[in-house]
Amino acid sequence: MPIVLGIESSCDETAAALVRDDRTILAQRIASQDEAHRPYGGVVPEIAARAHAERLAPLIEAVMAEAGLGFGDLDAIAATAGPGLIGGVMVGLVSAKALAMASDKPLIAVNHLEGHALSPRLADPSLKSPYLLLLVSGGHCQILLVEGVGRYRRLATTIDDALGEAFDKTAKILGLGFPGGPAVERAALEGNPKAVPLPRPLLGSAEPHFSFAGLKSAVLRAKQAEVHADPDIAAAFQQAAIDCVIDRTRKALSTIAKPNALVVAGGVAANKAVRAALEKLAGEHGLPFVAPPLALCTDNAAMIAWAGQERLALPGFTADPFDFVARPRWPLDPDAAPVRGAGVKA
Ligand code: KG4
Ligand code: ZN
């Protein structure tokens, strides 16, 4: 049974994993850099790249040892080749190239977003395309129709901030620490979402996209007003964000033929309130709801190894060349129409 080594280093998690084609995760390790970035309240690219360079090789050694495998036992080496913080992506991709070259194995350059997009299939063998995917992380906020491996139709994206970014900025405004998403979710449990009126940008708009910048500014103004309790602001923010997500997902569903499932992936998929709202929406549309286990939602290498497996299984598979260049931007759907507004994420 084919075994793929996956490497992830596009943001602030350094990770390596070995995944077999029967979906068994033979070994996986993740080194989080939260401590290194915490003093700055966000990921510092230079610190991230140095940390990946220090940690990746020992992590790869550790997963190989844990699975009792040598590089000769592998069938391919897959690494995130973008989009992401370029210094980190280069560390992972160059390491994968060196290992592939030295062990004479195929290199698979994986789009990090494809890793997230296919991760639900690693967790759930019954999930078949086409499925509607809400991909919500710190860097990305998209609704994609997954039509097959390598075939993605982007139905919506954000015109400014990603959803995870909005959670992180809200946490920063409220002084809740880093990483922000889980801290906002915890604070929201103690608050009343109706206590603070916040906007729902683009709710009901004809265009399909997301926008969170106005919501973030409103959170800042609510904090500066000094009349609201922080948990109430957190709860109101989370509810406003969820209302936007549900509205946009409902709109996307109205523009396509009935998919096989509604799926959520990416770091924000770890949020229980977001999951519950999406599960309800799926139920209203008679769709199964699929969300990978939390460890597969946030950045990890098992999803990169699995994307490698999916590529390896395609008829006519070809390895990527050793001159494959790391990409800071790499849209999953190159044909998607550009959206208005600046600072659009890949
Ligand atoms: O997928 P991921 O690990 O990295 C990127 O590719 O961006 O996502 C990280 C993002 C961060 O913005 C983090 O605050 C958010 O996911 N996140 C959450 C939760 N857990 C992580 N947002 C809301 N609620 C959570 N429980
Ligand atoms: Zn990610």
Architecture field, domain 3-117+296-345: 2-Layer Sandwich (3.30)
In whole angstroms, how far apart are CA 93 and each of 186, 207, 344?
Answer: 36, 37, 24
Query: Which amino acid does the sequence have at 33?
Result: Q
Reduced to 3 states (helix: H, G, I; strand: E, B; else coil), residue 217 is helix
Instruction: Please indicate whether residue 306, judged by its CB atom, sits closer than 6 Å to ligand 1.
Output: no
CA of 267 from ligand 2 middle (Å) equals 7
CA of 266 from ligand 2 middle (Å) equals 6
Architecture field, domain 130-291: 2-Layer Sandwich (3.30)
Instruction: Please indicate whether residue 185, judged by its CB atom, sits closer than 6 Å to ligand 1.
Output: yes
- By CB atoms closer than 10 A (0-12, 13-18, 19+), residue 88 is buried
Instruction: Please indicate whether residue 292, judged by its CB atom, sits closer than 6 Å to ligand 1.
Output: no
Per residue in 79-101, pLDDT (tens digit) is 999 999 999 999 999 999 999 99
Q: Give the span between the Cα atoms of 236 and 193, in whole angstroms.
A: 4
Average pLDDT value for residue range 97-110: 98
Determine which residue's CA is closest to atom 3 belonging to ligand 1: 298
Q: Give the span between the Cα atoms of 176 and 117, in whole angstroms.
A: 30
Reduced to 3 states (helix: H, G, I; strand: E, B; else coil), residue 255 is coil
Nearest bound ligand to the CA of residue 171: 1
Average pLDDT value for residue range 324-341: 88
pLDDT of residue 346: 41
Instruction: Please indicate whether residue 6, judged by its CB atom, sits closer than 6 Å to ligand 1.
Output: no
Q: Give the span between the Cα atoms of 107 and 77, in whole angstroms.
A: 5
**If we measure between CA atoms, which residue out of 62, 49, 55, 56 comes closest to residue 79?**
56
Average pLDDT value for residue range 164-192: 94
Instruction: Please indicate whether residue 87, judged by its CB atom, sits closer than 6 Å to ligand 1.
Output: no
pLDDT averaged over the chain?
94
pLDDT of residue 345: 43
**If we measure between CA atoms, which residue out of 15, 13, 17 comes closest to residue 308?**
17
Residue 35 has pLDDT above 90, yes or no: no
Which pair of tokens denotes residue 290? 């699929």
Nearest atom (ligand 1) to Cα of 140:
7
In the sheet that holds 262-265, the strands lie side by side as 151-156, 141-148, 131-136, 262-265, 289-290
DSSP characters over 72-86:
GG-SEEEEEEESS-H
Do 131 and 262 form a contact (C-beta atoms < 8 A)?
Answer: yes
Per residue in 65-83, pLDDT (tens digit) is 999 999 999 999 999 999 9
Q: Helix H segments across 125-229?
A: 163-173, 180-189, 213-224
pLDDT of residue 142: 96
Q: Which helix (H) or strand (E) holds 52?
A: helix 45-67
Per residue in 199-221, pLDDT (tens digit) is 999 999 999 999 999 999 999 99
Domain positions in the chain: 3-117+296-345, 130-291
DSSP 134: E
Which pair of tokens denotes residue 66? 């844990």
Residue 342 has pLDDT above 60, yes or no: no
Instruction: Please indicate whether residue 188, judged by its CB atom, sits closer than 6 Å to ligand 1.
Output: no
Q: Which helix (H) or strand (E) holds 58?
A: helix 45-67
pLDDT of residue 344: 44
If one counts every other C-beta atom within 10 angstroms of the C-beta of residue 336, the result is 16
HSE-CB of 223 using CA atoms within 13 angstroms: 19
Do 105 and 139 form a contact (C-beta atoms < 8 A)?
Answer: no
Do 153 and 333 form a contact (C-beta atoms < 8 A)?
Answer: yes
Fold matches, 3-117+296-345 and 130-291: yes
Site to probe by mutation for ligand 1, drawn from 43, 142, 161, 167 as the one with most ligand atoms within 8 Å of Cβ, is 167
CA of 224 from ligand 1 middle (Å) equals 25
Average pLDDT value for residue range 309-329: 97
Average pLDDT value for residue range 152-166: 96
3-state helix, strand, coil in the chain (%, to 5): 45, 20, 40
If one counts every other C-beta atom within 10 angstroms of the C-beta of residue 45, the result is 14
Q: Give the span between the Cα atoms of 188 and 236, in whole angstroms.
A: 8
In whole angstroms, how far apart are CA 6 and each of 27, 85, 93, 110, 114?
Answer: 10, 18, 10, 9, 13
Nearest bound ligand to the CA of residue 297: 1
